[in-house]
Structure 1
Amino acid sequence: MFKSVLPALLLLLGAGTPWPGKAEIVHSERSLYRNIMVEDKGDLRCLRFNVKQKKSNQSCLYKSQPQQLVFNYTKLLFSGLILNSQPERILIVGLGGGTMSNTLHQLYPDARIDNVEIDPAVIKVAREYFGFFENERVTAIDQDGRLFIKRALMKKQQYDWIILDAFNGEYIPEHLLTREFLQEAKQLLSDNGVLTSNTFSNSGLYAYESATYYDVFGDYFNVRNSVNENRIILTAKQPLPDMKILSRRLDDLDKRLKPYGVNIKVIFALMTQASQEKDWPEDTRVLTDQYSPANLLNID
């Protein structure tokens, strides 16, 4: 099945970082956490973090078509809608330019969307340069994602969809990878709640992440392809539904997502169950607050 969707995958998900040629820096500042740059190259505008001399795109948009999604991983994150197509409360940890929030607000204007971002400078840049939209239902909270989740649990809040997309410029912050954190995130999910996590298939932490998610959630879906290194971990509060049941939801989602450049049928074809692959060693150690990624070698 994968070979049959590969041409569409290359076209709709792209193959590589969308950054052609030399860019013009339109904004640059040093925040408490990193160097932040906004760079333009023709119609493309990107938010970039510079940490230890390494630049990485965090969010991009086409200035003439801001509705069209640019990044592969952003499109893959919409796999969450296959498990829950009508989320009413959404939590996004890691704002970037606010692209995901803006798109979800257009799709679900009545949904509550809470964006949690540790760096207030990123929120400011998202507003000024990327058209990040806020109203009484869409908010940005300047706070560490784990602290927000702890406090949300104390308030007995719940979310239908949690999107983990926090990066510090190098990788996912280590305290957002542990068993204890994922247990807290799972508790925050509603009964039909789903969680999508943006990570990488080529990470030195791949096996550790796999073992940790499996320990907390049980079975989950990997959403990935051979074109790039993006890996979305898709899981839920309840046991995963049968693929045949999920396939019945695709036609309606396909119509709604196509205007944003998302082909949900292609994405569905990329979904595989971790229990059927088990592509990590049985003795892989689970990440915990005491045994953190800082102790591991994460090779690009």
Structure 2
Amino acid sequence: MFWEKTLFEAVSPINGKIKVSEKNGQRKLTVDGYTQSVSLNRDGLTGKHYWDIFTDGSIRLDQDSRVLVLGLGGGTIPKILTRKFGLVIIDGVEVDPLIVEIAKNYFGLNEPNINIFTEDAARFVKNAKYKYDLICVDIYNGGEMASICSDNSFFEDCKKIMSEKGVLGVNKIIDSSYDLKNYLDFLRGFFKSVQYFVNTKNLNHTNAIIYCRS
């Protein structure tokens, strides 16, 4: 067991206090004390279900697929997808330029298939030029989900840029079964199929991965 070592600390005008640390060979990006990204292990996973589950058996991608990651962070999701599916094109959107620099400098986010856009997620989606086979929504301000993730127009715009068999995955922190039900009902207003996955029976402040299909 090794002590946690701080590699970088700064205060971002967008996200507040940011820290990169390392323990037992795994790096972690925290924003205002909340874990935003972690590095991958030898299996190309994190050991944290709410990231690793984005590549579960229901997701099918090939070399012609295109992926959109909203909330790039340190690049955990793009790296997992690249390790599993190869050099599929991934467009990663992150509003905070400091986070982008951290992703490159501390998490090695330099894969040739990953295009990085330093931009507001809602604006990017509204003006997107491509259709996507997988859209990953993982947009947080510290421990709070971004307000656009409860905005009707945001999901209407996401739906417009999904391919015919496209999937939209949302990482949602839930505080109760009631909270989960309300958010699922909200998403069912836009998508025909809405499924969720959690790895615990205790739904008090845990992550649910929600898959939506038109």
Question: Taking structure 2 as the reference length, what is the TM-score of the superposition?
Answer: 0.87
Q: Which has the higher strand share?
A: 2
Contact 1:84 1:193 in 2 (8 A): no
- Aligned position for 2:7: 26
Letter matched to residue 160 of structure 2: Q
Amino acid at match of 1:90: V
Report matched runs for 1:20-59 at 5 Å: 23-33=4-14, 34-50=16-32, 55-59=33-37
Q: Deviations over 1:15-67 (max 9, x none)?
A: xxxxx8852211001112121100122322210001xxxx11111226x7483
Residue aligning to 1:68: 45
Quote the residue 2:132 is aligned against.
Answer: 159
Deviation at 1:143, TM superposition (A): 0.5
- CA 1:123–1:227 in 2, change beyond 3 Å: closer, same or farther? farther
Secondary structure of 2:141's counterpart equals: coil
**Which piece of structure 1 moves more, 33-42 or 161-170?**
33-42
Count of aligned pairs between the two proteins:
208
Name the counterpart of 1:115.
92
TM-score, normalised via structure 1 length: 0.64
Q: Which has the higher contact order (CA 8 A, sep 6+)?
A: 1
Runs of at least 5 residues in structure 2 that lack an aligned partner in the other structure: none
Q: Going by fraction, where is helix more abundant, 1 or 2?
A: 1
Bigger Rg, which one: 1
**Aligned counterpart, 1:9:** none
**Equivalent position of 2:147 in the other structure:** 174
Unaligned runs of 5+ in 1: 1-19, 238-300
Q: Does 1:191 align with 2:169?
A: no
Q: Could you say which residue in structure 2 is the equivalent of 1:84?
A: 60
Aligned-pair CA distance for 1:179: 1.8
1:209 corresponds in structure 2 to 183
Distance in structure 2 (CA, Å) of the matches to 1:197 and 1:101: 15
> Among 150, 171, 186, which residue is 2:126 paired with?
150
Shift of the 21–230 alpha-carbon distance from structure 1 to 2, 3 Å rule, reads farther
| Preserved contact between residue 45 and residue 52 of structure 2 (Cα < 8 Å) | no
Cα RMSD, aligned residues only: 2.2
Query: Is the 2:184–2:194 Cα contact (8 Å) retained in structure 1?
Result: no
Measure, in 2, the Cα distance between the counterparts of 1:170 and 1:205.
16
Report the CA distance shift for 1:197/1:39 in structure 2 as closer, same or farther (over 3 A).
same
- Aligned-partner residue type, residue 169 of structure 1: G
Contact 1:69/1:75, CA 8 A, preserved across alignment: yes
CA distance in 2, matches of 1:227, 1:44: 27
Distance in 1 (alpha carbons) for counterparts of 2:59 and 2:48? 21
> Contact 1:102–1:133 (CA<8 Å) still a contact in 2?
no
Q: How does 1:245-284 map to 2 (within 5 A)?
A: none
Q: Which runs of 4+ in 1 moved over 6 A?
A: none
